[in-house]
Amino acid sequence: MKTFFQKLTDLSSVARTEQMLKERLAELVQELGFDCYAFMNLQPFRTYTVSNSPPEWQARYLAQNYIKVDPIVSMAQARMQAFTWAAESPRQSTDKLVRRFYREAGDFGIRSGVTIPIRTAFGHMSMLTLASHKPTLSLEKDIDQIAAITAVAQLHAKLEQQDVEPTASVHVDLKAKQALCLKWSAEGKTMKDIAAIENISFATVTFHLNNARKALDVGTLPHATALATKLKLI
């Protein structure tokens, strides 16, 4: 593993194109004896994945919102250090959704692996997972935590720098009225102003803005307008 982390650091330094980065990363993972990798950047408003795992699995993972169910994500958030894992037997879990998650992941050949989470800007988290079809996983030596975190942090920086195209991502959609009211708010208009401009009731403006805030998963209107602007939704 230590050699892998050094090679990953080297790759993050020399990769000049997105294609080079993805192809060489896939090769390194195969050389280490794993089947695929998944780099996930978790943000409240934009979670995306760069992975060579089966596209059908990536699409299903996001469509079923498995990020809320995935025990690996929960462990990563709780530990914030590199760790190995193996899927539980479906009968071992009392949670129906977790049992389904493990079963479906196994159907796509994802049964064990290594996950390295790192903290990123503004309290967010990214994680690199190396996955295997093997039911259990044993390493010859403990994972070098410093080498692991350093390598994944440099990979994160490279992916951000190159603005790499995600292989799967969560998209936020606003309805037309929600976007319109948010746009007026971003222009500095009060809810009373928006009601007058659009010839709708104050309660209707409040309704649309509250739903927009919920769609963006934020707590305040200023945060919603800033986020919608950043995501080019308004």
pLDDT beyond 60 at 215: yes
Q: What is the DSSP string of 164-232?
A: PPPSEE------HHHHHHHHHHHTT--HHHHHHHHT--HHHHHHHHHHHHHHTT-SSHHHHHHHHHHTT
Give the pair of three-digit tokens for residue 71. 């025990």
Is the domain of 220 the same as that of 188? yes
User: In sequence order, what are the residues at sequence separation of 6 or more whose Cβ sits closer than 8 angstroms to the Cβ of residue 150?
Assistant: 5, 9
Q: What is the pLDDT of residue 183?
A: 94
* Domains in the chain, number: 2
Give the number of other Cβ atoms within 10 Å of residue 63's Cβ: 10
Q: What is the predicted pLDDT for the residue at 187?
A: 94
Window from 78-92, 141-155, 220-234 with minimum mean pLDDT: 78-92
Query: Are residues 67 and 48 part of one domain?
Result: yes
- Which of 169, 197, 222 is at the close of a domain? 169
State pTM to two decimals: 0.78
Q: What is the overall mean pLDDT for the chain?
A: 90
28-37, 58-67, 98-107, 134-143: the lowest-pLDDT one: 134-143
Domain stops at, among 169, 188, 204: 169
Quick check: 58 pLDDT over 80? yes
Which tokens belong to 70? Answer: 């995935």
Q: Residues 131-154: what's their mean pLDDT?
A: 90
110, 217: one domain: no
Are 81 and 193 contained in the same domain? no
Q: How many Cα atoms within 13 Å fall on the side-chain side of residue 110?
A: 24
Residue 12's identity, in one-letter code, is: S
Same domain, 133 and 187: no
* 45 vs 221, higher pLDDT: 221
Phi, psi at residue 193, to the nearest 5°? -60, -45
Residues 99, 203, single domain; the answer is no
Q: Give the tens place of pLDDT for each residue, 86-105.
A: 987 555 556 888 889 999 99
Residues 102 and 55 in one domain: yes
Give the domain range for residue 64.
Answer: 2-169
Per-residue pLDDT, 92: 58
Average pLDDT, integer, range 169-186: 88
Structure tokens at 27: 């090769």
Does the pLDDT of residue 63 top 80, yes or no?
yes
> Which tens digits make up the pLDDT trace of 112-127?
999 999 999 888 899 9
List CB contacts of 72: < 8 A, sequence separation 6 or more: 85, 113, 115, 129
Extended beta strands in the chain, E state: 36-42, 48-51, 83-86, 112-119, 125-132, 168-169
pLDDT at residue 89, as a whole number: 57
- Please indicate, yes or no, whether residues 127 and 31 belong to a single structural domain of this protein: yes
Same domain, 51 and 156: yes
Q: Which of 81-85, 86-90, 147-151, 156-160 has the lowest mean pLDDT?
A: 86-90
Tokens 């969560």 locate to 170
pLDDT value at residue 65: 85
Backbone angles phi, psi at 53, to 5 degrees: -70, 165
Average pLDDT over residues 210-232: 87
CATH number, domain of 86, equals: 3.30.450.80
What integer is the mean pLDDT of 135-140? 81
| Domain C-terminal end among 151, 169, 187 | 169
Q: Are residues 50 and 9 in the same domain?
A: yes
Which residue type is seen at 224? Answer: A
Q: Mark whether 47 and 81 lie in a shared domain.
A: yes
In a shared domain, residues 131 and 225: no
CATH number of the domain at 190, please: 1.10.10.10
Has residue 57 got a pLDDT over 90? yes
Read off the pLDDT of each residue in 30-53 and give the average, rounded to a whole number: 90
pLDDT at 219: 85
The SS3 assignment for 122 reads: helix
